[in-house]
A = this chain, B = another copy of it.
Amino acid sequence: MGVMRLRIDLGYDGEGFYGWALQPNVRTVQGEVENAIRRILRVPPDDSEDPVRLVVAGRTDTGVHASHQVCHVDVNASTLSRAKGHMRVSAVTALEHRLQRIVPDDIAIHSVSAAPEGFDARFSALERTYVYRIADRGSGVDPRLRGCVLHIDDELDIDAMNQAAAMTIGLHDFGSFATPNPGGTTIREVKRAYWERVPSTPLCAGIAPQAGRVAAKAKAKTKTKAKTKAAAEPTESPESTEATTQSYVVPALESGLVCFTIVADAFARNMVRSLVNACVQIGVGKRDLDWFAGKMEVPEREGSTGPIAPQGLTLEHVAYPPDSQLASRAQSIRAVRTLS
C-alpha cells in the first residue's frame, strides 16, 4: 500500500509551549500533535516503521503563536487505515475528526488532507506571513488580548517605523537582526513589511432588526460606514424619548492596535522579533533611522537589538505554489539551503 504524505493545517496559542520543535521533557506543539497522531493510529513511540515525524513550514519559538501553520507527516497507508474504526469516512477524514477531538484546547487542527504529489511543508513553501501586535499609549488596553499583544507605555511613531520597515524590503543579509547561523546564511528576501494602526472598525455591520419584523431582513449585503453607525431604531416603549441617543457601536477587538505585517520567502532565526524590536526603538525615539540603515548595510549582530517579547508574534500564513510547481520549488529551495 505504500506511504502516504498528509498535510496538516493547524493553529495554536503559543503561551503554553516551548515552541514548535520537539524537545525532551518540555511541552512543544510538535510533541503534542505527534503524540495525538500516535495515540489515534496506535503507533508506539520510536516505532521504526512509522516514526510519525512532523515537518513544519515555520518553526516558531517559545511563546510565539500560529493562527495558520502547515506541516506534513508520512504514514504507512496500512497504519493510517486504523484511524477509521467504525467511521464511514475516508481514513484521512477520520484522522482529521479524531485529531480535532483529542488535541488540547490551545491547539486547533484546521484540516488534515492527502498532500498533493511533490508537497513538502517546509521546502515547497513560497512565503511566510507574520504579524506582530502592540498596544501602545494610543491603543487602549484590552486585557482579553494580553496573551497575543505586547503592551508598551509610550506612543509609537508609526511613520518612522515604516521608514525602517521599507528598508528591509528586497533581498538582504539580515545578519544584524538574526541569531547567528554558523555555516548558514542570513540572506532572505522580504516581500512586504509595514506598520499600521488598525482602524477602529465595527465588530458587526449592526443592522438591528426591529421588533416584529422578520430578522432575516437584516442580512443587508452593503455595509457602508453610514449604515454601520445607524442610530438606534426608535422603540415604542414609554421611555423611548431618552433612548434616542446614538447607539454605541462595538468595535472589533484589534481596533487601535499597532501591527507589523511582514512577508518573506523565509525568515532567519529570531529575525521578525529582532526587526520589531529595532523598529520599536525607533518608534519611541531611542534609535534613529540612520542607525537602522547602517545595520541593514553592514550585517553585524553587535550593537543591534535582540528579539522582543514573543507573545505579540503570530505566524499567520504559509503560501504554496500551484500543485504542478510543488516539486520543482522544493528541489530548488533544498539546493539553496544545502549550499548555505
Binding site for B on A (CB under 8 A): 11-13, 65, 67, 105-108, 110, 126-127, 129, 131, 140-144, 146-148, 159, 162-163, 165-167, 169-171, 189, 191-196, 198-199, 201, 203-216, 218-219, 223, 232-233, 235-239, 242-243, 245, 247-248, 250, 252-254, 259, 261, 263, 265, 314, 316-317, 319, 321, 325, 329
Given known pairs A159-B216, A207-B194, A208-B192, the reply for A248 and B170 (CB within 8 Å) is no
| 9 residue pairs bridging A and B, Cβ less than 8 Å apart | A67-B144, A107-B143, A129-B250, A159-B219, A163-B214, A167-B211, A169-B209, A193-B208, A201-B252
Beyond the given A11-B142, A165-B215, A194-B218, please list 20 additional residue pairs across the A-B interface where CB-CB is below 8 A: A13-B144, A105-B146, A144-B314, A159-B215, A169-B209, A169-B211, A170-B235, A170-B237, A171-B238, A189-B239, A189-B243, A192-B247, A201-B201, A208-B261, A242-B321, A242-B325, A242-B329, A248-B263, A250-B261, A250-B317
Residues A319 and B245 in contact, CB atoms below 8 Å apart: yes
Residues A143 and B106 in contact, CB atoms below 8 Å apart: yes
Q: Which residue of the partner chain, among B192, B210, B235, contacts A166 with CB atoms under 8 Å?
A: B210
A103 to chain B, nearest CB (A): 10
Query: Which B residues are in CB contact (< 8 Å) with A265?
Result: 239, 243
Query: Which B residues are in CB contact (< 8 Å) with A235?
Result: 169-171, 189, 191
**Smallest CB-CB separation from A127: which chain B residue?**
B243
Residues B199 and A205 in contact, CB atoms below 8 Å apart: yes
Residues B143 and A11 in contact, CB atoms below 8 Å apart: yes
A110 to chain B, nearest CB (A): 7
Residues B141 and A108 in contact, CB atoms below 8 Å apart: yes
Whole-angstrom CA separation of A316 from B232 in the bound complex: 16
Q: Which residue of the partner chain, among B131, B147, B208, contacts A250 with CB atoms under 8 Å?
A: B131
Query: Which B residues are in CB contact (< 8 Å) with A232?
Result: 191-192, 263
